[in-house]
Every structure is written in structure tokens, then in C-alpha cells.
Amino acid sequence: MALFGSQRYSKLSLPANGERKMVIPDGSWIKCRNCGQTLYADRLEDNHQVCWYCGHHLAMTAEQRIKLVTDKDSFVEMDRNLVSVDALGFSDSKTYVDRLNENSKKSGLNDAIVCGTATLDGRAFALGIMDFRFMGASMGSVVGEKIARLVELAIEKKLPVLLVTASGGARMQEGILSLMQMPKTCAALERLDEAKLGYFVLMTNPTYGGVTASFASLGDIIMAEPGAMIGFAGPRVIQETTNSKLPEGFQTAEFLVEKGLIDRVVERKNFRKEFSLLLEIFKK
Ligand SMILES: [Zn+2]
């Protein structure tokens, strides 16, 4: 029994008041997916979710994005309670209704976009922000309807529009109803164009599928965040279908600005200043 009782290492003595004990609550540290460095969540919040080691732009919630692009307390949300119906009675590994409820609970949102009006440096505009936490910000009938209503309000109130996109594409659980949001949003934006009020897009990582193929690509000025992946189908699908090697940097914001699909890559820390300038240039 002496064997079990023996003390091989000396006991570590800690201050009695436990002052030096470090308490790390869950979720305080986030690993950068690009460089692998560990980032402190509070500092990341202050740095607008941009890694200070490598400059990687991490995903933002709609709430964080509102803070970034609007004057304090100026955002007034509209159509918050619009929710999808399960018109097709869709079910895969779980029912669409269960999936909607789960995503709502997880994100605190009723669907994948938050819309409203706000000001920046005192200039009013209409704002829609897609939030990837809700079903990969897929475009269902609520996303399309909220954008159409936002644009209609902008025309009525003579406001420019900013849409911040992020999406995996159409929401397959809504079938054709999801695809119908493409012409619907485009028709609303056509009326905005006729009113010459200014339509701005900020594409964030990732913007894909029916969103890229409709309202995201119609901006008077189309901006994107550094490193954002933008396309219709993903690179692997294209590579396998065409059986060809894709060029370096394919589908990144930097690649697409060179090809002319987007106008400008804007670092997050500069967006507020640059967007404010656009509002000034486009003011009526
Ligand atoms: Zn990093």
C-alpha cells in the first residue's frame, strides 16, 4: 500500500485566495479558420470579427453588422414576424417545420434576413442583412418577400438600399417557391432602378446560388469583403462537371473584381467610411 501512498511529485501550492486561477468561460476563445490562431472573443468583437493575425474576415451576425453600418440606435426593423409556411409538406432527415423551429431557436431570428431602415452619418437608407446562422441564409419565400417589401418601402420613402448578402443559395425545402424569389426581387429592384435611388450590395463569405444569380448581382455598386467566396455552383462541382483545372483564386472576391463581376473589395474596417461616401454621392 506504501506504493499508492508515495508522493512522487511535490504538491503545487496556489495562493489561498485563488487570485492566480484563470477562469475561461465557454465560448470566450475562437479559432481563426484561416491561420489557426486562437482569438479572444471580446477583442474579436471590438475588431469587427476580423482576425488580427492574418486579416481573415469571420462571419458576422445580423446584429453585429447593423452596428457596423448604421448610426447608434437608428435601425428600425420591419417585418420581423414574417415566417415561412411548409407549402410542400417537405421532409428529409427531419421535417421542414422542425428545421425552421430549430434554426429560429438557435439564431433568435424568424428567417435568414433582417430588414429595416437606418441612418449612417445622418443619411437615411433601407438595409437588408442576410444571416448565415439561419439555414445557411438560404433564400426562401420570406427572404424574397422581405427584400421586395424593403425595396417598395425605399421607393415610397425615396431611400437608397444596401443589401448585405451571404447565402448557400435557394432553399430546396421550398422548391419552386424559392426559385420564384429570384424574378420577384429582380422586378422590385427594376422599379428601384427606374426611381434612381441607388442600390448597393456588399457580398460576404459565402454568396452562392440563386442569390448571386439574382438580387446580389444587380447593384449599382457591388462590393465584396476580402476573401469572400462568390459564385453560382461551388468550385468542386464545376471542376468535376467540366473536368478542367480551375484558375488560382477562382471565385474569390479578389479574382472577381479583376474579372469585372464586382466593383470593389472593401475591408470591413473601411466599409462604414466608404458606404457613407456612396450615400453622399448618390443623395437626391
Ligand atoms: Zn487568422
Displacement of CA 22 from its chain's centroid (Å):
34
Residue 205 CB neighbours (<10 A): 20
Could you say which DSSP state residue 59 is in? -
Residue with cell 444569380: 213
pLDDT by residue for the chain (284 residues), tens digit each? 444 544 444 444 444 554 455 555 566 999 999 999 999 999 999 999 999 999 999 999 999 999 999 999 999 999 999 999 999 999 999 999 999 999 999 999 999 999 999 999 999 999 999 999 999 999 999 999 999 999 999 999 999 999 999 999 999 999 999 999 999 999 999 999 999 999 999 999 999 999 999 999 999 999 999 999 999 999 999 999 999 999 999 999 999 999 999 999 999 999 999 999 999 999 87
Of 186, 80, 180, 183, give the one whose Cα is nearest residue 140: 180
Distance 251 CA to ligand 1 centre (A): 20
The verdict on 184 and 52 lying in the same domain is no
Query: Grid coordinates standing for 206?
Result: 459565402
The verdict on 186 and 52 lying in the same domain is no
| DSSP labels, 173-188 | GGHHHHHTHHHHHHHH
The range of the structural domain enclosing residue 29 comes to 25-58
In whole angstroms, give the CA distance from residue 19 to residue 15: 7
Query: Would the CA dihedral through 138, 106, 34, 222 be positive or negative?
Result: positive
pLDDT at 24: 54
Distance 257 CA to ligand 1 centre (A): 23
Distance 31 CA to ligand 1 centre (A): 8
Q: Using DSSP, state whether 85 is helix, strand or coil.
A: coil
Half-sphere exposure of 139 (CA within 13 A, CB side): 31
pLDDT at 284: 76
Write out the H or E segment, with its range, that includes residue 157: helix 141-157
Q: Using DSSP, state whether 94 is helix, strand or coil.
A: coil
The verdict on 51 and 84 lying in the same domain is no
Distance 32 CA to ligand 1 centre (A): 5
Distance 58 CA to ligand 1 centre (A): 9
The verdict on 269 and 157 lying in the same domain is yes
Distance 154 CA to ligand 1 centre (A): 38
Distance 27 CA to ligand 1 centre (A): 17
Q: Evaluate whether residue 269 is within a structural domain.
A: yes
Distance 34 CA to ligand 1 centre (A): 5
Count of domains for the chain: 2
Residue with cell 439561419: 134
Can you give the pTM of this predicted structure?
0.89
The verdict on 38 and 179 lying in the same domain is no
The verdict on 31 and 146 lying in the same domain is no
Distance 48 CA to ligand 1 centre (A): 13
The verdict on 193 and 117 lying in the same domain is yes
Distance 210 CA to ligand 1 centre (A): 30
The verdict on 234 and 137 lying in the same domain is yes
Phi-psi region of 35 (alpha: psi -120 to 50; beta: other; left: phi over 0): alpha
Q: Which amino acid is at 258?
A: E
